[in-house]
Chain A
């Protein structure tokens, strides 16, 4: 809990450090701040406590999610290099401050025990993300993306709030634990019908944030338009926090009325899988492909949410972690390659930019390969076990058809992930040796090696949860 106070203060202080220090120093400072945040979060381990008028609860699960979020933020900051091409118009201090604020929002989203806390957390995270999406001010695409994200996001939060109100109206409580008791104690028939409308509206609000179909239309444009470093942040932190919140709400509050919402989630997960994977297969741009792949991974995660087994919490955690590591590594390589190709190629983020990367940059090619293999769920990588846990949770609940669909879609996934591998290894290109800063290198290899270690020995993490 102290972590959120500390991170907020650090964020404010960051705004002032920006007067005196250049970006590099700020980067180190921010890394230090997040490291302190991680330490403070870890100190709460095994202390299940309520804070802030019982609105905020630290449990081991919430701590695990907070740690994943802060780890992702740490890696993103470590991988950040100049923001945009033109340094005069960028404000690194503000970006780092906003990043810290959004981490606070994300932590609130994973540890709330009160509906308002969820809303506040979601807003802090979202507003920070709207700003970061538009941070490349001179870029038309970035502006468009920010406006689009803001308009659609505002609607989604509105709908979420509407849902919370209706649920409150039906149960007269905002507290998660109370709500669960009330819903469990009352027979489903005697519940007012607007409770179910409220549940549905809340689901829509949260599903928007995790970019599940059919609420995904903002995702590709926003991911594409935002500066890649913030796309990396968005696709990992926002998604993890969104799923943690969704899972917390569904299992902690609406577990009693499982049968009313499960079909919705079931179909949304199938739709998300189809749309995410099939559309990703048509993309020419790696950045857009990763955007659609993030949609498709939302589909896999929704499967385990709809299975709602005792092991599902750890599955969501494991999957979030493996997805986060792989996505960060993939985007990191994309940043380097697209920066190198800017000016050389018309579209620096296309698959064709990666052609021949393996020849002079075997390390980068290897990292990108491992991250793509992990996203595709091939053995030896963390993604494989993620899929394994998801499928076995779903089978435990006798969910057969979505699993078969997920299998078909995994095969489609292999197609577009391997396109990147083919471009790097088997096509000819003239990419020279790309210089990689030391911090960047450490973060990138950390992701790659953890993906491999988790792939061979998933227990290291699985036993923690």
Chain B
């Protein structure tokens, strides 16, 4: 029952906001996301206590063996936790802007949350695909309705690019699904595991490509990333937060949930290539990030670099790799949302994101600087921050897999420090520029968003075990499948 509530509650409230267009959209939306977070918290607590997954199974289209089945285990748990945790902050970050009481804006965000929750909870592969695609529509409308410069063309490219990718996933799924036993077949993910693993290495190779292209576009992995910097830059801040904080995790989650257990032989053929591409993305993204002039674009590239490392770690198929990837998804989500919000705050006050025009903000807003530094250090992966745990485990798994790849991927720590510290230096320190002289201090609402996020960064760095332990069991099950 709880699963259904988590899945449909944001949808209902979102639909209400879109149709009825109430005046106090912000309060409704914020309380809905908080309630959602509490419900999810209870669910996760229950899973953590019993260490057993919670499932809900209902026939959907029995003629073709498709079920409406949901399952929350350790892996989905982390992602629904992330999704439920971040949404109140994303909604909260609209406070005191014209978007706060814009019912459509809030409604679309809630719809988006519902679709993403669905993708993370789905136990049936077609249900997963259903939500995977459905989540595109709200974010597309959000970005192209409220976005910045040249939004129409950029978001259109994003839409076509991602749908194009997911269509490959679609035919790949149908291909495997038709090979499941029984006259009506079954699209249950665990049945697909068994079927797909028995396919020949050649078909697994093709299927791996079909699936990986879909997820690689979503994440994005080099060379499928060309939609990403533009879309992140042009979307409204909350859209960017949703895209980078949660939606890209649908790609990484897809790899863990579908690709790794389904196509061990396929990974055997193409896994190396995919890892090399991911690591090229890490280095390439970082180098481009160093040269960016626009702060939001810089963060977009940094997100591209980080997700490359997550992908490379997962593809090692080791216990550490998957655990590290999960942990890093969580930390990356928290960090990136905080960072995008800081840029949004700066932009609100100065109407600019150009690094050359900014500087000296620390003199007028000390609290902002502190939060920004904590969040950035999380992103750089300094010890005692959440990013350190994730990246450390990921790099360890890549080193175990291949020394050369590990060494190359390790450069990310240095490059990451370069662009992040440059971002801090150009915005917070240095001389006060013309537009930052009258920089006002943080409002209470802004603090309510930034300070908890900064605390999460530190908590994640100091007490990682609770979360690592939470996902351990489920990750173990997946790695056991590989033996």
Contacts and interface: CB of A to CB of B under 8 A. Distances in A.
A407 interface: yes
A426 B144 contact: yes
A404 B141 contact: no
Nearest to B129: A379
B163 A411 contact: yes
B175 A410 contact: no
A392 B64 CA distance: 10
B160 to A, nearest CB: 6
Interface stretch (A140-148, A161-169, A247-255, A455-463): A455-463
Interface stretch (A88-96, A184-192, A221-229, A414-422): A414-422
B168 interface: yes
Interface in A379-402: 379-380, 384-385, 388-389, 391-392, 395-396
Given A403-B171, A426-B152, A463 B164 contact: no
A352 to B, nearest CB: 14
Contact of A395 (B130, B167, B175): B175
A373 B152 CA distance: 18
Interface stretch (B55-63, B416-424, B449-457): B55-63
A137 B205 CA distance: 60
A378 interface: yes
A418 B162 CA distance: 14
Given A379-B129, A407-B167, A422 B174 contact: no
A391 B61 contact: no
Main secondary structure of the interface of B (DSSP, over half): helix
Given A379-B130, A395-B178, A414 B163 contact: yes
A175 interface: no
A446 interface: no
B159 interface: yes
A459 B152 CA distance: 37
Contacts of A395: 171, 174-175, 178
Nearest to B151: A426
Nearest to B136: A378
Interface string B162-187: 01100110110011011000000000
B347 interface: no
Interface string B123-142: 00010011101100100010
B217 to A, nearest CB: 12
B144 A391 contact: no
A462 B61 contact: yes
A414 B133 contact: no
Given A395-B175, A418-B156, A426-B145, A378 B133 contact: yes
A418 B133 contact: no
A425 interface: yes
Given A379-B133, A411-B167, A422-B156, A459 B61 contact: yes
A392 B177 contact: yes
B145 to A, nearest CB: 6
A407 B160 CA distance: 12
B167 A410 contact: yes
A192 B45 CA distance: 75
B170 A391 contact: yes
Interface in B197-229: none
Nearest to A396: B178
A407 B164 CA distance: 8
B178 A414 contact: no
A379 B134 contact: yes
Given A392-B178, A459-B60, A411 B171 contact: no
Contact of A414 (B63, B160, B171, B177): B160
B131 to A, nearest CB: 8
Contact of A380 (B134, B160, B167): B134
Contacts of B62: 459
Contact of A463 (B63, B151, B160, B168): B63
A388 B171 contact: no
A385 B170 CA distance: 12
B63 A388 contact: no
A85 to B, nearest CB: 34
Nearest to B168: A407
Interface residues of A, number: 30
A391, A404, A410, A462: residue with the most chain B Cβ atoms closer than 10 Å: A391
A70 B151 CA distance: 44
A411 to B, nearest CB: 4
Contacts of A380: 130, 134, 137
Contacts of A388: 126, 170, 174
A358 to B, nearest CB: 10
A175 B141 CA distance: 55
Contact of B164 (A378, A411, A427, A458): A411
Contacts of A462: 61, 63-64
Contacts of A404: 171
Contacts of B177: 392
B170 to A, nearest CB: 7
A407 B163 contact: no
Nearest to B61: A459
Contacts of A373: 137
Interface in B7-48: none
Contact of B171 (A378, A389, A407, A415): A407
B271 to A, nearest CB: 23
B137 to A, nearest CB: 7
Contact of B152 (A392, A422, A457): A422
Nearest to A378: B133
B141 A425 contact: yes
A378 B138 CA distance: 13
A458 B61 contact: yes
Contacts of B167: 407, 410-411
Interface in B34-88: 60-64
Contacts of A379: 129-131, 133-134
A181 to B, nearest CB: 28
B358 to A, nearest CB: 31
B39 to A, nearest CB: 23
A360 B130 CA distance: 31
A378 B61 CA distance: 18
A427 B159 CA distance: 17
B63 A459 contact: yes
Given A407-B167, A422-B152, A414 B137 contact: no
Contacts of B63: 459, 462-463
Nearest to B164: A411
B138 to A, nearest CB: 11
A463 B59 CA distance: 13
Contacts of A425: 141, 144-145
A303 to B, nearest CB: 12
A462 B175 CA distance: 21
A395 B175 CA distance: 7
A106 to B, nearest CB: 27
Contacts of A389: 64
Contacts of A457: 60
A408 B170 CA distance: 12
Given A378-B133, A379-B133, A411 B160 contact: yes
A380 to B, nearest CB: 6
Contacts of B168: 407
Nearest to B165: A411
B60 A391 contact: no
Nearest to B206: A400
Contacts of B134: 378-380
A458 B177 CA distance: 18
Q: Which 9 A-B pairs have the closest CB atoms?
A: A411-B164, A407-B167, A379-B133, A379-B130, A379-B134, A392-B174, A459-B61, A391-B174, A395-B178
Given A403-B171, A407-B171, 14 more contacts: A378-B163, A379-B129, A379-B133, A380-B130, A380-B134, A388-B126, A391-B170, A391-B174, A392-B178, A404-B171, A411-B163, A414-B160, A425-B141, A425-B144
21 contacts: A378-B137, A384-B130, A385-B61, A388-B126, A391-B170, A392-B174, A395-B175, A395-B178, A396-B178, A407-B170, A408-B164, A411-B160, A411-B167, A414-B160, A418-B156, A422-B152, A427-B152, A458-B61, A459-B61, A462-B63, A463-B63
